[in-house]
Amino acid sequence: MKKFLPSGNDIRILGILFVVSGIIDFVWIMSYPDYALKVFGTTFPGWQGAFVKYQHPVIHWAIGYGFWFRQRWAYVAYLAYLGLACTSEVTTQVVEGYHQTRTTMIIVSLLFGLYIFTRRHIFHTIHSQATPTA
């Protein structure tokens, strides 16, 4: 267990979970084509709605890939995604009213983000170790 955390294997496992989450999102969208994802309290019709929906699994796949390889860009992308997602959920609650599930997702996402923030050195350490030295 002592070697598990310093090696960053927890981040790699989270990367796998992001990829699986993206697959589940994609299957959900394909199974329910009329599903409209709310972004900042609104939904979008037509091709704009499809674009908004399908970017969600793509973002999960990209972050999962980056977490697997512990890339610095994945850490930054995850924090940006976290900030936008939480802001969107809060905005949706302001527009539509309080919703317990949305509040729970915000809290869980922020706690997860705090964990990733505390593990940020893994992204920097792995990246700098891959650079050849002269």
Q: Does residue 67 belong to any structural domain of this protein?
A: yes
Q: Which DSSP symbol is given to 69?
A: T
Predicted pLDDT at 15: 96
Alpha-carbon gap, residue 99 to 9, rounded angstroms:
35
Predicted pLDDT at 17: 96
Which residues have C-beta within 8 Å of that of residue 57, sequence separation ≥ 6?
Answer: 21, 22, 23, 25, 26, 29
Whether residue 132 has pLDDT greater than 80: no
Specify whether the CB–CB gap between 60 and 77 falls below 8 A: no
Domain count, the chain: 1
Q: Does residue 12 belong to any structural domain of this protein?
A: yes
Predicted pLDDT at 35: 85
Q: What is the pTM of this model?
A: 0.82
Q: Does residue 33 belong to any structural domain of this protein?
A: yes
Q: Does residue 131 belong to any structural domain of this protein?
A: no
Q: Which domain holds residue 45?
A: 4-124
Q: Does residue 130 belong to any structural domain of this protein?
A: no
Predicted pLDDT at 88: 93
Q: Does residue 111 belong to any structural domain of this protein?
A: yes
Question: Which alpha helices (H) appear in 8-99, and where do they start and end?
Answer: 9-31, 46-68, 72-96
pLDDT tens, 11-68? Answer: 999 999 999 999 999 999 999 988 888 899 888 888 888 898 999 999 999 999 999 9
